[in-house]
């Protein structure tokens, strides 16, 4: 039961203090999972992120479900998934309740303008962390640059790029 409480509190905190989507929550996710609880190593965390990005659905929910299942089976997965979405549900219901009163408020607009740079910083931090554990040698850098090129410049579908990068990884490593 103690593990379920830790799972719930950790993923509730991740859901409550993450603005800007899945990538913006990666630093908080990393801090909770790796530093605070040592539930995963840095390498395992990167692998979870890779799987969470390839599967349908938001990265936070996929990561929560996977880690919850790893820690305590179906009940752990349900607990982590519920905990990570609960803050957003509460916030959206609260905003919907007060929307008409504050929808034209300059203070609300200023708050969102202030949050944008923070989200960008969180995403940059996540990119640095993931890159630190992902780029292990020159071959991994070349594969990443190749995928960036074919998706960003040649407009190859991302799923094809993921499959292609996986095949290249199998051949190279």
Kindly state whether residues 155 and 116 are assigned to the same domain. Answer: no
The confidence score (pLDDT) of residue 20 equals: 64
Q: What is the mean pLDDT of residues 38-62?
A: 85
- Asked if residue 144 and residue 123 are part of one domain, the reply reads no
* 24 C-beta neighbours (distance < 10 Å), count: 22
The answer on 98 and 164 residing in a single domain is no
In the chain, the number of structural domains is 2
Contacts of 133 (CB under 8 A, 6+ apart): 42, 43, 45, 46
Supply the pLDDT for residue 50. 84
Return the HEC string of the chain.
CHHHHHHHHHHHHHHHCCCCCCCCCHHHHHHHHHHHCCCCCHHHHHHHHHHHHHCCCCHHHHHHHHHHHHHHHHHHHHHHHHHHHHHHHHHHHHHHHHHHHHCCCHHHHHHHHHHHHHHHHHHHHHHHHHHHHHCCCHHHHHHHHHHHHHHHCCCCCHHHHHHHHHHHHHHHC
Q: Are residues 29 and 80 in the same domain?
A: yes
53 in the same domain as 102: yes
Q: Is this structure's pTM higher than 0.85?
A: no
For residue 49, pLDDT over 70 is answered with yes
As a whole number, the mean pLDDT across the chain is: 87
Structural domain for 165, as ranges: 135-173
pLDDT of residue 21: 66
- The structure tokens 């499959």 sit at 163
Same domain, 15 and 68: yes
């Amino acid at each position: 039961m103690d593990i379920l409480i830790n799972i719930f509190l950790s993923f509730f905190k991740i859901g409550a203090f993450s603005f800007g989507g899945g990538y913006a929550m990666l630093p908080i996710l990393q801090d909770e999972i790796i530093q605070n609880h040592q539930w995963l190593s840095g390498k395992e965390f990167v692998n979870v992120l890779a799987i969470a990005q390839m599967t349908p659905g938001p990265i936070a929910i996929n990561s929560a479900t996977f880690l919850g299942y790893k820690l305590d089976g179906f009940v752990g997965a349900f607990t982590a998934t519920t905990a990570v979405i609960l803050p957003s549900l509460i916030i959206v219901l609260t905003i919907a309740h007060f929307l008409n009163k504050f929808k034209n408020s300059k203070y609300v607009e200023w708050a969102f303008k202030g949050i944008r740079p923070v989200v960008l910083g969180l995403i940059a931090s996540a990119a640095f962390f993931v890159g630190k554990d992902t780029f292990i040698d020159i071959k991994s850098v070349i594969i990443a640059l190749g995928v960036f090129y074919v998706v960003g410049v040649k407009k190859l579908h991302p799923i094809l790029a993921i499959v292609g990068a996986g095949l290249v990884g199998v051949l190279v490593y």
